[in-house]
Amino acid sequence: MSYCGTIYKLPRRVRTYAKAKEIHDKTKPIRNTNTRPFGARRDHDKYSIEMVSGSDDVLVYYGRRWASGAFITYHADDTITIKRATKWGSSLAHQVIEWVLGIPTDGRLSRTNLTINGGKYALNYGEELKVRWSDNKWELLTIKEYHDWRINRKGANNVRARYKAFADYLKGFVSLRTEQGEEGENPVIYIPISEYVEAFPERVEDAPKNQDGSFQTYAQTYRCRDNRFFRRNQPTPQVFRMPTSYNLRDKSEKHYREDVSDYLFLVLSNDSQKWYKAALIACAPKNKSWHEGVWSLTPDNVHFLSPSQPTKFFEEVILKLHSDEAFERVKLKQGQVPTHKYDGWVNKEEGGN
């Protein structure tokens, strides 16, 4: 792990109550305060150590006290409580635990994964894990059950079978438009914007104007004679907005069901023109950038994609729609932590760790 510069100033391998108490007693408070720095004195607003009034506990704080609370607590019985008290600063929180206690960590966002005796244990925001250093190894004192969503192969295959006709069409659609890149480059999908304009003529509109009356410019992907790709801005009186308004993957959005129903009307139609439109939608940009999917209408408009995106996109759409059938909740073995990969794919609430 690559550590933040301030981490190197913290005490290392503080694994017992006696050592934590010694650090506390030897550290002088910052002048005119009761704050004892844990590490460099100039970082006292980020890392500090104190004892609880009326208790023998030694507390190590990471971050502002009013926002974080105790981060690592050393108890007189030589047990240690680790708490993810902040949602922010995840990477630094991992580093503090790993540096100060010597427990390997990883994770993201508001979760820290601790590797103890070969197993992984998740520490989410607001949760605590209690450990003890004994016989030169860590002992986990908090036993938790973890669950995760997994794909039910039989159910997922049944869902795929229902949409196989269009999935095969989409695969062929992508294959016909896939071109090999130059040496060392990945293949790309080549789709002229004119195909989109023909299928969605209602999305052609006048380009907005600047205050001086000139047309606003939009970035366009452009293929020049030597087969290289680049982007440039070009003013144009008309623009085309890609059909990206279909919300087909974010189940938390208000119009998700309505948009998916409209899309499946095209997919299940067995009509070549409707399949053509559905395939173009699967190949449309998925970015949420403010200008994404807006193209200047010029003769050389080109749209490029990675060839694996549309087919994966469509499978995600149908598995999310039929998540009750395609996924199952499983209890993980001790030492395994949930990936949370499919939490946003299912209809049911997560229901546990």
Backbone angles phi, psi at 72, to 5 degrees: -125, 125
Q: pLDDT tier at 28 (50, 70, 90 boundaries)?
A: very high
pLDDT score at 303: 82
Contacts of residue 315, Cβ cutoff 8 Å, sequence gap at least 6: 160, 167
User: In this model, does residue 19 exceed pLDDT 90?
Assistant: yes
The yes-or-no verdict on residue 67 having pLDDT over 80 is: no
23, pLDDT greater than 80: yes
> pLDDT value at position 290?
45
Mind listing the pLDDT tens digit for each residue in 76-112? 999 999 987 766 656 777 888 888 999 998 877 678 8
CB 105 within 8 A of CB 115: yes
Say if CB 186 and CB 304 are below 8 A apart.
Answer: no
**Residue 287: what pLDDT?**
58
Q: Give the pLDDT score at 92.
A: 78
Q: Which two tokens stand for residue 17?
A: 């109550």
Domain boundaries of the chain, sorted by first residue: 5-144, 153-323
Q: Which band of pLDDT confidence, cut at 50, 70 and 90, is reported for residue 348?
A: low
**pLDDT of the residue at 351:** 42
Largest CA distance in the chain: 79
Where is pLDDT greater, at 340 or 77?
77
Q: Cβ neighbours of residue 333 under 8 Å, at least 6 residues apart?
A: none
* pLDDT computed for residue 278 by the predictor: 95
pLDDT value, residue 251: 82
pLDDT of the residue at 78: 93
3-state secondary structure of 109: coil
pLDDT for 269 equals 93
> Is the per-residue pLDDT at 265 higher than 90?
yes
pLDDT at 288: 53
Cα 122 to Cα 128: distance, rounded to the nearest angstrom:
10
Which of the four pLDDT bands, split at 50, 70 and 90, describes residue 52? confident
Token reading at 337: 């932590």
Instruction: Judge residue 117's burial from the number of C-beta atoms within 10 Å of its C-beta, 0-12 exposed, 13-18 middle, 19 or more buried.
Output: exposed
Which residue type sits at 108? R
Angle between helices 272-282 and 164-177 (to 10 degrees): 70
- pLDDT band (50, 70, 90) for residue 65: low
**Residue 213 has what pLDDT?**
76
Residues 6 or more apart whose CB falls under 8 angstroms from that of 94 comprise: 1, 105, 106, 107, 112
Residue 346: CB atoms within 10 A of its CB come to: 18
pLDDT for the residue numbered 73: 92
Q: What is the pLDDT of residue 126?
A: 80
Check whether 7 has a pLDDT greater than 60: yes
Confidence grade of residue 353 (pLDDT, cut at 50, 70, 90):
low
The reported pLDDT for the residue numbered 225 is 45
Segment 146-179, tens digit of pLDDT: 899 999 999 999 999 999 999 999 999 999 999 8
Q: What's the rounded Cα separation, in Å, for the pair 223 and 298?
A: 12
Confidence band of 46 (pLDDT split at 50, 70, 90): confident
What tens digit of pLDDT does each residue of 201-250 get? 998 988 777 778 777 776 555 555 455 555 556 667 888 888 876 778 77
Using 50, 70 and 90 to split pLDDT, how confident is the model at 66?
very low
pTM higher than 0.85:
no
The answer to whether 256 and 247 are in contact (CB under 8 A) is: yes
Question: Of 8-17, 281-290, 343-352, which gets the smallest average pLDDT?
Answer: 343-352
* Residue 267 confidence class, pLDDT cut points 50, 70, 90: very high
Pairing of strands 58-62, 72-74: antiparallel
- pLDDT computed for residue 148 by the predictor: 92
Q: Are 174 and 310 in contact (CB under 8 A)?
A: yes
Query: Which pLDDT score is estimated for 235?
Result: 66
Q: 38 with 97: CB under 8 angstroms?
A: no
